[in-house]
Structure 1
Amino acid sequence: MKSIIKIGIIGCGGIAMGKHLPSLSKLEAVEVVAFCDVFVEQAQKACEQFGAPGAKVYDSYAELLSNAEIEVVHVCTANDTHAEISIAALQAGKHVMCEKPMAITAADAKRMVEAAEQAGKKLTIGYNNRFRSDSMLLKKMCKEGQLGEIYYAKAHAVRRRGVPTWGVFLDKEKQGGGPLIDIGTHALDLTLWLMDNYEPSVVLGSAFHKLSKRANAANAWGSWDPEKFKVEDSAFGMIKMKNGATIMLEASWALNNLDTREARTTLCGTEGGADMVDGLRINGEMHGKLYENHFKLDPKGADFYEGKKESMQDVEMRMWIDAIIHDREPVVTPKQAFVVSQILEAIYESAKTGEAIYFD
């Protein structure tokens, strides 16, 4: 029987405390034995709440990586450190789950892919929306060909007023961008995965700094400081794939729009279509008649066993650990996440230059 998998957490802020650690704590096959944060008190708090007996606290990720008993590392730090820490962890012989986005540049994302291949270790990225019940059902339908050839899609990541005003979200240097790299990345990943299409041809994008200039603006988390709002407030992209399929991506934290869908997709195929409005809706034609099927699914969870439910985060962590135990490819592969990073970077570059960005 395989021994318990020892895990180290690097970055003990909100994403670690709200997602990774609660879900990992439900798994019998793992123990979290190391916690690292530049703010040691945060690491200590996480250790007290989720640590295995004898778990250690670090203020240096290099020291944590030198701990030979750690087999798996979760990188839950600011975006600009994802590549540096993940590559170091892989080179230290650890399997790595890195939070999204993979990196703030495509070049760094590629380095992460290469490091995983060279180390012979598993690398995955935290695109947890793949593990929702509606996402997993739609993936099965797509694989079975129920939609036919998917040639047009929309990736939705729109908030009317949902600007995160804490942490480094508004800091372009640390975050790499605004809503496009923050929530647009989820919508794009979900859409590419469902289409099973990872060959972009050309990208045209726009990014706006419009509502971010307003002082005392209405916002779910309180007004933002326009002087500190250094990233876009909305961004949009048109992605044409090598097979001709086209994806429209919309991402905003602040937009005068009532159609607010986040981490959702709309797919149009030769045999049918799908969207994620109030559950999962499938439409098509049968025996000369148009039909519409509506699946009322809980988008936050999925059926597991004996009528029990798992949150999408719980499913994500369970399947990640299963991939390690059974030596399988993770659901989110590094090469898939690299293409997401390439497209996001192309949208930003197109927005800056006003030109279409072509892929080789």
Structure 2
Amino acid sequence: MEKKLKVAIIGCGGIAIGKHMPSLSKLETVEMVAFCDIELKRAEEAATNFGTKDAKVYSDYQELLKDEAIDVIHVCTPNSSHCEITVASLEAGKHVMCEKPMAKTTEEARLMVEAANRTGKKLTIGYQNRFRSDSQYLHTVCSNGDLGEVYYAKAHAIRRRAVPTWGVFLDEEKQGGGPLIDIGTHALDLTLWMMDNYKPQVVIGSTFHKLGKKEKAANAWGSWDPKKFTVEDSAFGFIKMENGATIVLESSWALNSLEVDEAKCTLCGTEGGADMKDGLRLNGERYSQLFTEKVELNAEGVAFYDGSEESAADKEARLWIEAILTDKEPVVKPEEALVVTQVLEAIYESAKTGEPVFLNR
């Protein structure tokens, strides 16, 4: 693993600055050599802060892709351009990490998977919550069969008042939706991954645009402009899988609820259950008695050590780069992310039509 991969960032906004570039900069196997943004100044600032001395900047991603020296592309643009840029990058011979959600539509997601298969290049999607310590532990529990057959689950993505008011989050055309496609996507990805079940059969969904109409609303990032709030403020889905397993998905940016959970899941199996409500808790029956166990995932109380470890974002970046260098499958497979997009699209469709959406017929 002596080779240094040359990485380019397309889209130098909040998620690139907050997650991708800081994590990549910690890896000795990576050098960031190119940056692209429709606002050239942002690309220039990113190059100054994270790039090599001779890093190049672009306002047109197609010009960037002509550089044959680039090995890897990180796509950090609005959802509406994920498919276009990812497919072009794969066809240019680059491996691609695309931010979540994979795409606005199932058709776009399929085009991305087909391009990866056709070119032989690796493609992954930025579901960093899989790399949290509680997620990793719970996945081991599920993989070992400790919960038995998980037949009922809840995917949680509930904020009481935390509407993102910057960028294009409130723009339905560029994003494809609101909290469902923004944070609900994380909760659903986690849940499907834990269940190892990617065969949805029927989906029923509801979306609401109620609190988004309020003027001068309380909000973590300041009041939103109701006129620009063109997406739902909450969305809910009921998903039945081919084997009968059932998932309830809840998502909101603004909801009158004191029960707030984001990127978490609850699992109910034949041998036990688990949830992330108060840390990671496991439950079941042992020796004719019910039990609840809370998993300790830190080392509080140990002298000279605060229990801190590699962050989820850092681990995501490291394992992604290692997958390329060692020619292994990425942790987040594009085929899995496609199913997430398929279900989210079905929830939106069901909400519009008032009818269930049947999949994979």
Alignment TM-score > 0.5, same fold = yes
Q: CA offset at residue 52 of structure 1? A: 1.3
1:184-263 to structure 2, matched below 5 A, reads: 184-263=184-263
Does 1:130 pair with 2:122?
Answer: no
In structure 1, the residue matched to 2:42 is 42
* SS of corresponding position for 2:206: strand
CA distance in 1, matches of 2:170, 2:54: 37
Q: CA offset at residue 225 of structure 1? A: 1.1
In structure 2, the residue matched to 1:93 is 93
Q: Is the 8 A contact 1:8 1:73 kept in 2?
A: yes
Q: CA offset at residue 296 of structure 1? A: 3.3
In structure 1, the residue matched to 2:302 is none
Q: CA offset at residue 2 of structure 1? A: 4.1
Partner letter of residue 297 of structure 1? L
* SS of corresponding position for 1:350: helix
In structure 1, the residue matched to 2:71 is 71
CA distance in 1, matches of 2:235, 2:253: 9
Partner letter of residue 22 of structure 1? P
- Show CA shifts across 1:96-125 (max 9, x none): 000000000110000000000000000000
1:1-360 to structure 2, matched below 5 A, reads: 2-297=2-297, 309-359=309-359, 360=361
**Identical columns (%):** 66
Which segments of 5 or more consecutive residues in structure 2 lack a partner in the other structure? 299-306
* SS of corresponding position for 1:309: coil
Q: Is the 8 A contact 1:278 1:296 kept in 2?
A: no
CA distance in 2, matches of 1:297, 1:214: 40
CA distance in 1, matches of 2:329, 2:263: 24
- Show CA shifts across 1:277-324 (max 9, x none): 2210000011111111101336xxxxxxxx761000000000000100
Q: Is the 8 A contact 1:272 1:283 kept in 2?
A: yes
- The change in CA–CA distance for 1:276 and 1:308 in structure 2 (over 3 A counts) is closer
CA distance in 2, matches of 1:14, 1:228: 19
Partner letter of residue 334 of structure 2? P
Q: Is the 8 A contact 1:11 1:37 kept in 2?
A: yes
After TM superposition, the runs of 4+ consecutive aligned structure 1 residues lying more than 4 A away are: none
- Show CA shifts across 1:80-103 (max 9, x none): 000000000000000000000000
CA distance in 1, matches of 2:28, 2:155: 36
In structure 2, the residue matched to 1:303 is none
- Show CA shifts across 1:145-200 (max 9, x none): 00000000000000000111111111000010000000000000000000000000
Which segments of 5 or more consecutive residues in structure 1 lack a partner in the other structure? 299-306
In structure 2, the residue matched to 1:302 is none
**Aligned length in residues:** 352
Partner letter of residue 343 of structure 2? I
Q: Is the 8 A contact 1:163 1:224 kept in 2?
A: yes
CA distance in 1, matches of 2:278, 2:309: 19
Q: CA offset at residue 234 of structure 1? A: 0.3
Partner letter of residue 16 of structure 1? A
CA distance in 1, matches of 2:2, 2:199: 38
CA distance in 2, matches of 1:62, 1:117: 21
CA distance in 2, matches of 1:16, 1:227: 28
Q: CA offset at residue 268 of structure 1? A: 0.2
- Show CA shifts across 1:215-239 (max 9, x none): 1111111111111110000000000
CA distance in 2, matches of 1:148, 1:50: 46
CA distance in 2, matches of 1:137, 1:249: 22
* SS of corresponding position for 1:188: helix
* SS of corresponding position for 2:121: coil
CA distance in 2, matches of 1:205, 1:313: 31
CA distance in 2, matches of 1:74, 1:342: 23
Q: CA offset at residue 131 of structure 1? A: 0.2
CA distance in 2, matches of 1:159, 1:308: 26
CA distance in 2, matches of 1:338, 1:212: 29
CA distance in 1, matches of 2:319, 2:175: 28
Partner letter of residue 163 of structure 1? V
Partner letter of residue 248 of structure 2? M
In structure 1, the residue matched to 2:304 is none
CA distance in 2, matches of 1:190, 1:288: 31
